[in-house]
Amino acid sequence: MTVVRITSGQLCSFLHDAETRDETKRAKRGIQSSLAPNCRKKRREVTPPEALSPGKEAKIAKCEAEEAARSEKQDPLWR
């Protein structure tokens, strides 16, 4: 077993240096590298809003009710 003894001043200095390095790394992560001059980004297609038709909603509700009834039938104490 190795025991290392440092003063509180040394500990504060080590922590300060580590926090400074961490802040620098975090700041660099936010910077994006530029693309090569002959490259272009492909524009993303717009995602359509998710909307269920009334028929699908009714079908899903029916399936959920059937599954709940089946689960309760198999194990009535579960609920």
Q: What's the pTM value of the predicted model, to 2 decimals?
A: 0.35
Instruction: Answer yes or no: is pLDDT of 63 > 70.
Output: yes
Q: Are 61 and 54 in contact (CB under 8 A)?
A: no
Q: What is residue 79's predicted lDDT score, i.e. its pLDDT?
A: 54
Is 74 among the domain residues? yes
Residue 69 lies in a domain: yes
Domain assignment of residue 75, yes or no: yes
**Would 34 be classed as within a structural domain?**
no
**pLDDT of 62 above 70:** yes
| Residue 29 in domain | no
What is the count of structural domains for the chain?
1
Q: What average pLDDT is seen over the chain?
A: 83
Range of the domain at 72: 53-79
Please write the tens of the pLDDT for every residue from 22-35.
888 887 776 666 77
